[in-house]
Amino acid sequence: MNMPSGLGRRGLLFGGAAAGAGVFLAGCTSNESNDDDSDGAERNQAASNEESGPDVTIGFAGPQADHGWLSAINEHARSRAEEYDDVTLEITEGSNDTAQQIGQIESLINSQVDVLVILPADGRSLTQVALSAMNAGIPVINLDRVFDTPQAYRCWVGGDNYGMGLNAGHYIGEQLKDVEGARVVELSGPDNLELTVQRTQGFDDALANYPNIEKVARQAAEFTVESGQDVMSGLLQAVPEFDALWNHDDDQGVGAERAIDQAGRDEFFMVGGAGSQHVMEAIQADNTVLKATVLYPPTMAASAIDLARACAQAKGIGGLAEFEIPSFIQLYSAVVTKDNVEQYLPTGFN
Amino acid sequence: MTTGATPEPSATASLDKPAPPGPPPAAATGDKGPGQGPRLVLGKLFDLHTLSLLGVLAILCVIGAITAGDQFLDTNNLQLVLTQASVIGVVTVGMTFVMIGGGIDLSVGAIVALASVWCTTVATQEFGMGGMIFCALAVGVGCGLVNGVLIAYGPMVPFVATLAMMVSARGLSLEITGGSTQMVTVDSVLDLGRRDSYILGIPPLVIIFAVITALGWVLLNRTTFGRRTVAIGGNAEAARLAGIAVKRQRLMLYALSGLCCGIAAFMLVVLSGSGQNTNGNLYELNSIAAAIIGGTLLTGGRGTIIGSVLGVLVFTLITNLFVLNNLESAFQQIATGAIIVAAVLLQRRSASHTT
C-alpha cells in the first residue's frame, strides 16, 4: 500500500512541476517589448504624394522570412501598400520551396491581380511561371533575385552586391590611405553563393586602388550569428593586429562583434554589410569598433510596390522624364557612417 | 552545473528498484561482465580507438605548430579551441548516449535553436539569468521527452520521430523570432562569455563542458543506467527478457539528449550573445560524425564518451587550423570528410585486430 501512495506523491510532484514549467514557458514566448514603438509606416520614408488613381491589386510573393532582412522586405511591402488608398496588396505566405512558390504565383495569376511583385526563392527555377504571368498580360516586377531572361519581368529592381564590396573597399581605403602597410581582414558570407563572390570581387577591386593596403585574411561565415562568432574568433587569433575589418552581413556580424568583445580587441575599425538596426545604433553610439555599414536596402520592397502601382496605372515615376517605369533599376549601396546614420536609422531591420 | 547532475538521481534511484542486476542481466549485457576490477579502468579509458584519436590530435597539433607557429601555440588559442568545442561537445555527449542505446537523434540542432530562441525572448530575459537557464533546460528536456515518448511508446522509428521534431522545432523557433536576431541584454549572461569571468584561465563554458563530460562518463561506466543503455543498444530483445524496462530506458535517453541540447543552447547564447533561429545548424550531423569517429557504433551497443569528446576536438582543431592558415572553407569540408573516412577505416582495422 505504501508503494502506490509514494508513487502517487512523486507523480503529483513531477506533474505539478511539469505543469508549472509549462505555464512559465508559455509565458516566455513573447518578444513584445514594452517600449517598442518603432513599427510599420514610420520606418519608411514618406510615400510619394501622387494623386490616387484607379484601384490596383498587387500580388506579392516572396521566400520564407527566415532572417531579418527578408522579414523587413515583407514589412516594407506591406506598410508601403497601406499608404495608398488605391492599392490592395495580396501577399502570400513566404516559401522557400520552388514548387510551392510556383503554385502561389499561379493562384495569384488566376485571381487576376493587376500586377505581380515577385522575390523568387530561386530566380532560375521561377522564370517559367513569371513568363506565363507576363504572357497572361500581368506585368511582373522582379525584386532582387533576378530571373533568367528579361522577358520574364517588366521591371527589375534590386541591390548591388558588387557595389556593396566596392563601396566598403573605398570607404576603408579612404580611412587608411595615409597608413603605411595597412592590413585589412574580410569576413565574407557563404562561398557557395554568387553574391558572396560578387561582394568579394568588388571589395578587392576597390582595394586595388590603394597600394598601401594589403588584405591579409579572408574567411567565410554562414550568415548566422553562430558562424560569425566562430569564424571571427579564429580570425582574431590568426591576425594579431590589423587596421580594418569588412563583414559582409550584419546578421553574422552580431556574432563577429561578440567575438571581438570576448577577445578584448579594438585596434581596428569594422564596416558592416546590409544595414541592420542594431548596427546603425552602434554606429550612432560610436562606442564600439563599428564605424560604418554598407547598405543592401530592404526598402527596395517599398520601391517595388511604388513601381507596381505606377506600372498598373500606366504612369512613369516622379523625377524621371519618361511616361513609363524603367525596366531595370539597381539600387546604390550607400555607406552609412556616424555623419548620416540618423537619416538611415528608420530603415534598419531587426 | 547543478543542472548537469539531474539525470543522476533518477539513475541511482532506479538502481535498487527493478529486478536485481544479478547474474541473468549480466548475461544480457554480454561482453561487459559486471565484475571488472579497477585494473581495467585505464584500459577502458584509453582503448585502441581512443589512442588512435589521440594520435590524430597530436598530428594536427604538430601541423598547427609548423604552419601557424606562434598563433597556434598560444594559450589564447587553446582557450579558443576548447570554447568553440564546448557547445557541440555537450550536444555530442547526449548524442553518444542515444547512439549507444541503439537510437539516433536528428533533432539536436533544432532543439538547440528552439531552446536558445525561447530563452532569449524579451519576456524570458526579464527573469534574468536564472529564468533563461530554466527556460533553455525545460525546452530541451521537453522536446527530448516528446521524442522519447514517440519512440518508446509510439512506437516510432527514431529516425522518423526525431526528423519530425527537427522540422517542427525549427519551425517554432522561426515563428518565435520572426527571423530576427534576439540580442541578449542581461549583463550577467554577457559577462559569462568575457575574459574577466575565466576561472584560473579556464572559460566557464569549458568548465561546463568538462563537468558534463565527467558526469557522462560516470553515468555510462559506473551506473546501472549506463549498463542498461549498452544492453538495450546491443540487443534490445535480450535486454527486455533480462528484465530491463527497455521503453522507459529509451524515453530517458532521449530526455537526456534533450537536456544536453538545453545546456548547449544556453552555452551558445552566452557565446554568441544572442538567440537566432539558425542556431545549431547541422549540429545533428556534426555530433553524429564526432561520435562515430570516436568509436560509437551507429547500430548501438558500443561507444565511449571520451572518444566522442576527442572526435569533437578533432573537428574543432581542423577548423582552427584552416582559419589560422587562412585557407578556403571548401578545402576544410573536403578534409573533414576525408578524416571521417580515415578514422572509421582505422577503427575497423583495430577492431578486427582485437576481436
CB contact under 8 A, A64 and B320: no
C-alpha cell at B124: 524570458
Chain B residue numbers touching A68 (CB-CB < 8 A): 179-181
Contact A255 B274 (CB under 8 A): yes
Cell of B351: 577492431
C-beta atoms of B176 and A31 within 8 A: yes
% of chain B with per-residue pLDDT over 90: 65
Amino acid letter, residue A177 = K
CA distance A148 to B181: 32
Distance CA(A117)–CA(A174), nearest Å, equals 38
Contacts with A311 (C-beta within 8 Å, 6 or more apart), sequence order: A115, A139, A141, A154, A155, A324, A325
CB atoms within 10 A of CB B224: 18
Domain A161-295 = CATH 3.40.50.620: no
pTM equals 0.83
Task: Please report, for residues A134, A155, B56, B242, the alpha-carbon distance to residue B82 in angstroms, rounded to integers and kept in the order given.
Answer: 56, 52, 17, 41
Contact B329 A219 (CB under 8 A): yes
Q: Output phi, psi for A325, to 5 deg.
A: -75, 155
Question: Nearest residue on chain B to A221, judged by CA atoms?
Answer: B329
Judging contacts by C-beta atoms under 8 Å, the chain A residues touching residue B266 are: none
Is B278 within 8 Å of A226 when comparing Cβ atoms? Answer: yes
B204 and chain A in contact, CB less than 8 A: no
Q: What is the pLDDT of residue B333?
A: 84
CB B181 within 8 A of CB A249: no
- A residues 157-176 near B, CB within 8 Å? none
Give the chain B residue whose CA is nearest to the CA of A223. Answer: B278
For residue A98, pLDDT beyond 60? yes
Q: Which of residues 125-164 of A touch B (CB under 8 A)?
A: none
Are the Cβ atoms of A68 and B181 closer than 8 angstroms? yes
* Cβ within 8 Å of A, B 310-349: 319-320, 323-326, 328-330
Q: Does A38 have pLDDT greater than 60?
A: no
pLDDT for A45 beyond 70: no
pLDDT computed for residue A310 by the predictor:
93
CB proximity list for A136: less than 8 A, separation 6 or greater: A109
Q: What is the rounded average pLDDT for all residues in chain A?
A: 89
* Predicted complex: ipTM over 0.85: no
B265 against A53, higher pLDDT: B265
3-state class of A215 per DSSP?
strand
Asked if the C-beta of B180 comes within 8 angstroms of chain A's C-beta atoms, the answer is yes
Please judge whether B71 and A220 are an interchain contact, meaning their C-beta atoms are less than 8 angstroms apart. Answer: no
- The set of cell numbers assigned to B158 is 527514431
Would you tell me the crossing angle of helices A225-238 and A250-263 to the nearest 10 degrees?
A: 40
| Contact criterion met (CB < 8 Å) for A28 and B193 | no
B197: contact with A, CB 8 A cutoff: no
The beta-carbon neighbor of B195 closest among A29, A226, A262 is A262
Are A138 and A113 within 8 A, CB to CB? yes
The per-residue pLDDT for B13 is 39
Beta-carbon count within 10 A of A90 CB = 15
Q: At a CB cut-off of 8 Å and minimum separation 6, what does B144 contact?
A: B111, B254, B255, B256, B257, B258, B259, B261
CB-CB contact of A24 with A83 (8 Å)? no
What pLDDT shows up at residue B45? Answer: 52
A52-159+298-315 and A161-295 agree in CATH topology: yes
> Which string of DSSP letters, residue by residue, matches A151-190?
GG-SEEEE--HHHHHHHHHHHHHHHHTTSTTEEEEEEE--
pLDDT at A33: 62
CA distances for A270 relative to A107, A165, A180, B204, angstroms: 46, 14, 19, 28
Residue B27, pLDDT score: 39
Q: What is the mean pLDDT of residues B218-225?
A: 96
Chain A, 271 to 290: residues with Cβ < 8 Å from chain B are: 276, 278
**Hey, is the C-beta of A5 within 8 angstroms of any chain B C-beta?**
no
Looking at the partner chain, which of B71, B281, B323 has a beta carbon nearest the beta carbon of A231?
Answer: B323
How close does chain A come to B19, measured CA to CA in Å? 16
Please answer whether residues A142 and A118 qualify as being in contact, where contact means their C-beta atoms are separated by less than 8 angstroms: yes
Q: Inspect the interface and report whether the beta carbons of A31 and B178 lie closer than 8 Å.
A: yes
| Cβ <8 Å between A229 and B180 | no
- The pLDDT assigned to B327 comes to 87
What's the pLDDT at A50? 65
Question: pLDDT digit string (tens) for B97-123?
Answer: 999 999 999 999 999 999 999 999 999
Cell of B338: 576525408
Mean per-residue pLDDT, A313-333: 90
Kindly report the nearest CA distance between residue B145 and chain A, in angstroms: 11
Distance of CA A44 to the CA centre of its chain: 15
Whether A276 and A88 have beta carbons less than 8 Å apart is answered as no
Of A21, A30, A226, the CB nearest to B272: A226
Q: Is the pLDDT of residue B55 over 70?
A: yes
pLDDT score recorded for residue B1: 37
Helix H segments across chain A? Answer: 2-26, 68-82, 98-110, 127-135, 161-176, 194-207, 225-238, 250-263, 277-285, 300-312, 341-344
HEC string for A315-346: CCCCCCCCCCCCCEEECCCCEEECCCHHHHHH
Touching A: B residues 18-47, CB under 8 Å: none
Tens-place pLDDT, residues B166-214: 999 999 999 998 888 899 999 999 999 888 889 999 999 999 999 999 9
Query: Which distant-in-sequence residues (6+ apart) come within 8 Å of A206 by Cβ?
Result: A165, A166, A167, A168, A169, A170, A172, A173
Which of B131, B281, B324 comes nearest A234 by C-beta? B324
Asked if the C-beta of B199 comes within 8 angstroms of chain A's C-beta atoms, the answer is no
Cell 507596381 belongs to residue: A308
> To which H or E segment does residue B281 belong?
none
Q: Return the domain boundaries, chain A.
A: 52-159+298-315, 161-295
Closest CA to A44 of A79, A92, A95: A79
CB B205 within 8 A of CB B89: no
Q: If you measure CA to CA, which chain B residue comes closest to A240? A: B71
Give yes or no for A13 touching B (CB within 8 A). no
Location of C-alpha cell 554562414? A222
| B194 touching chain A per CB within 8 A | yes
Question: Distance from B39 to chain A by nearest Cα, in Å?
Answer: 40
Q: What is the pLDDT of residues B291-327, one digit of tens each?
A: 999 989 889 999 999 999 999 999 999 999 999 998 8
Residue B42 pLDDT level (bands cut at 50, 70, 90):
low
Domains identified in chain B and CATH numbers:
3-8+43-354 (1.10.3470)
- Please give the grid coordinates belonging to residue A212: 598601401
Question: When comparing pLDDT for A97 and A228, which is higher?
Answer: A228
Band (B352; pLDDT cuts 50, 70, 90): low
What does the pLDDT read at residue A7?
A: 56
Thinking of the domain A52-159+298-315, which architecture would CATH place it in?
3-Layer(aba) Sandwich (3.40)
Write out chain B residues lying below 8 Å of A70, CB-based.
Answer: 179
Predicted confidence (pLDDT) per residue in B249-261, tens digit:
999 999 999 999 9
Per-residue model confidence as pLDDT tens digits over A174-216: 999 999 999 999 999 998 888 999 999 999 999 999 999 999 9
Percent of chain B with pLDDT over 70: 85
* CB pair distance less than 8 Å for B118 and A25: yes
Cell 527493478 found at = B18
**What count of CB pairs under 8 Å joins A to B?**
152
Please list, in sequence order, all residues whose beta carbon lies within 8 angstroms of the beta carbon of residue A52, skipping any fewer than 6 positions away: A84, A85, A86
Question: CA-CA distance, B313 to B343, in Å (whole number)?
Answer: 14
Chain B residue with CA closest to A257: the answer is B272
Nearest-angstrom CA–CA distance, A270 and B117: 27
pLDDT greater than 80 at residue B25: no
- Quick one: A245 exposed, middle or buried, by C-beta within 10 A (0-12, 13-18, 19+)? buried
Q: Does the CB of B183 have a partner CB in chain A at under 8 Å?
A: yes
B contacts of A240 (beta carbons < 8 Å): 71
The answer to whether the Cβ–Cβ distance between B281 and A21 falls below 8 Å is no
Alpha carbons B102 and B237: distance in angstroms, whole number: 12
Stretch A278-296: mean pLDDT, rounded?
A: 95
What string of DSSP letters covers A271-293? EEEE-BHHHHHHHHHT-SSEEEE
Residues in contact with A42: Cβ distance below 8 Å, sequence separation at least 6, in sequence order:
A346
Q: Letter for the amino acid at B176? A: I
pLDDT tens sequence across A245-269: 999 999 999 999 999 999 999 999 9
Question: How many Å separate Cα A38 from the centre of its chain?
Answer: 18
Q: What pLDDT is attached to residue A22?
A: 80
Q: Which string of DSSP letters, residue by residue, matches B161-213?
A: HHHHHHHHHHHHHHHHHTT--EE---HHHHHHTSGGG-BTTB-HHHHHHHHHH
**Cβ A30–B76 below 8 Å, yes or no?**
no
What average pLDDT does this structure show over B47-64? 86
Segment A80-91 shows an average pLDDT of 92
User: Residue B33: how many CB atoms within 10 A of its CB?
Assistant: 10
Distance CA(A185)–CA(A280), nearest Å, equals 21
**Backbone Cα Rg of chain B:** 20
What does the alpha-carbon distance between residue A254 and residue B52 come to, in Å, rounded to a whole number?
Answer: 38
